[in-house]
Structure 1
């Protein structure tokens, strides 16, 4: 379970420059208190016997929505990624508890025969769905994706093209989706998926440059003007960068890009069970990241997130250098683009 950061911890670690400590403290405190209240109420058999199925379902739904908010507020506030990773399975448990109660409500007379999705992919619920998928990929919990997608299938007539593209490496055999249920900015990702590896860094940089203005119809847009601001993060850009193994050195410092989530995924998550394909069409094995000071395990082009535009050619056995700077430890990663740079 998450714990509240002290003001000193928050001041030293918060990632979102627009977040206010008072807002962070109030929101996380209220959410954590709410978790305890809902858990106590749901375990009170006498109370449950008196409550309507609609009230019970609504309480569970609020807890699930709050759990997503807790992830985003906590990431913005500077919680460690390890803490977020340990919390994500609990978030999914809250969603599954809500889903079960939601189905019970639909099967009761209270619903009047009217059924709605657990998360409607055509309205603002989409942002919650995208958070679940992206956090599962970035926090090393790709094994949860099947359960997440089961939640999203319920009563949604259409599945979303971006969500399906994100889970495709982990859940092969799912029907292809062509509809972008929320359109912008997400429709713009199609070009990145379709591009050759060498073109993807520039396309992703452009996507991030346009992300906020293109998101004007999304529920998070302009939230910094309110007193409850979770933070601006293009989680889909991070998940795509990891899945497609894009060299992010040219855009990792751009606003809205959660670079440390990608770094964590590259150390703790799996990209897919499929072989990688280089720009030349060559199918290759997955290479481990190499810390500075170690010999290069394979001749080719490598890059490090610790330095922009760092892609360079190493021969097998050559010592991988430390680039220094404020980033931290230097790890070299095999580049999906194995072509020589154009002059």
Structure 2
């Protein structure tokens, strides 16, 4: 699927980022919406590319796909597109990054490479922001099944892994080692004391984190972007992801600048809180079922392994496996929109 462009009239009413200019959003979104299918077609018809530098061309084209996909999500969130639509697009963006990883490795193996291997995303550079988006969007859109793929992409040729990224992924990857190094330092290192704090102290600490977030982000690529063209928006995605993971009461800071509360609200609608597991009727419950398990509730179900296409299953049926899918394990989710 592809996201849609918001009209200027709708954007003026529903935009989330006051600094965003419609012409910038329109240009970035239109470029991605129209350009991504063309780039995909070019990659799929690679046999028609000139043999000279073909591995380089495929690497650069697939890298563009990943970057444009992430830009489309964050610009569209700032413009007011519903979180549910953004979530439905995320599997496509993960697929773009998988495609890039494949073509990047092929380039490294080719004679076009000078033997100098570099990461898919270099975590000590500004590319950290893209890595953080991938991890946070997977959590906030209720699709943690992408995290093993993402963390493998981030591990490639990076000498060190990052403490924050490891901690964010750790609830779903319990066997993964957690780094003690914050590769980008501020503002992210300030989250350490929130992870370590008592439950009752976390709301105040997170509120303080958000108050200091912009000033502490001076070395990050999004800082001061509102002063130039093509401003994606100021969003502390990591604050939102930590709020969801630690189940922090955000009532004292949900209306603060930089806090993407709509993503947090959506995420909380997707996961089953520990004290509600087994209660299939809860409005806050997202039913999740792995292939081979028994369907717990009749309805329309979808899976990233099935390109998010909905299928009806009755309670008591065995949930099927989608063979040879790019995601590995087949995980089904109940569509609660009906």
TM-score by length of structure 2 reads: 0.80
Q: 1:259 aligns with which of 251, 261, 269?
A: 261
CA distance in 2, matches of 1:227, 1:51: 35
CA distance in 2, matches of 1:45, 1:60: 12
Aligned residues: 280
Any conservation in 2 of the 1:4–1:28 contact (CA below 8 Å)? yes
After superposition, the C-alpha distances for 1:272-325 in whole angstroms (9 at most, x for unaligned) are xxx6xxxxxxxx77697977xxxxxxxxxxxxxxxxxxxxxxxxxxxxxxxxxx
Higher-Rg structure is: 1
Q: 1:155 matched to which residue of 2?
A: 157
Q: 2:217 aligns with which of 194, 215, 225?
A: 215
Unmatched segments (≥5 aa) in structure 1 = 276-283, 292-343
Please give the secondary structure, in 1, of the residue aligned with 2:49.
Answer: helix
Q: 2:148 matched to which residue of 1?
A: 146
CA distance in 2, matches of 1:22, 1:101: 33
CA distance in 1, matches of 2:52, 2:46: 10
Q: 2:333 matched to which residue of 1?
A: none
Any conservation in 2 of the 1:141–1:269 contact (CA below 8 Å)? no
CA distance in 2, matches of 1:285, 1:140: 17
Q: 1:15 matched to which residue of 2?
A: 16
After superposition, the C-alpha distances for 1:150-195 in whole angstroms (9 at most, x for unaligned) are 1001001111000001011111110121000000000000000000
Once the two structures are TM-superposed, the CA of residue 36 in structure 1 deviates from its matched residue by 1.9
Unmatched segments (≥5 aa) in structure 2 = 284-338
Residues 21, 39 of structure 1: CA spacing in aligned structure 2 closer, same or farther, 3 A cutoff? Answer: same
Once the two structures are TM-superposed, the CA of residue 31 in structure 1 deviates from its matched residue by 1.4
Q: 2:189 aligns with which of 171, 175, 187?
A: 187
Any conservation in 2 of the 1:138–1:269 contact (CA below 8 Å)? no
Once the two structures are TM-superposed, the CA of residue 269 in structure 1 deviates from its matched residue by 3.0
Q: 1:171 matched to which residue of 2?
A: 173
Q: 1:56 aligns with which of 43, 49, 58?
A: 58
Any conservation in 1 of the 2:276–2:282 contact (CA below 8 Å)? no
Any conservation in 1 of the 2:46–2:58 contact (CA below 8 Å)? no
CA distance in 2, matches of 1:154, 1:112: 18
Residues 29, 209 of structure 1: CA spacing in aligned structure 2 closer, same or farther, 3 A cutoff? Answer: same
Q: Is residue 84 of structure 2 the alignment partner of residue 89 of structure 1?
A: no
TM-score by length of structure 1 reads: 0.79
Please give the secondary structure, in 2, of the residue aligned with 1:111.
Answer: coil
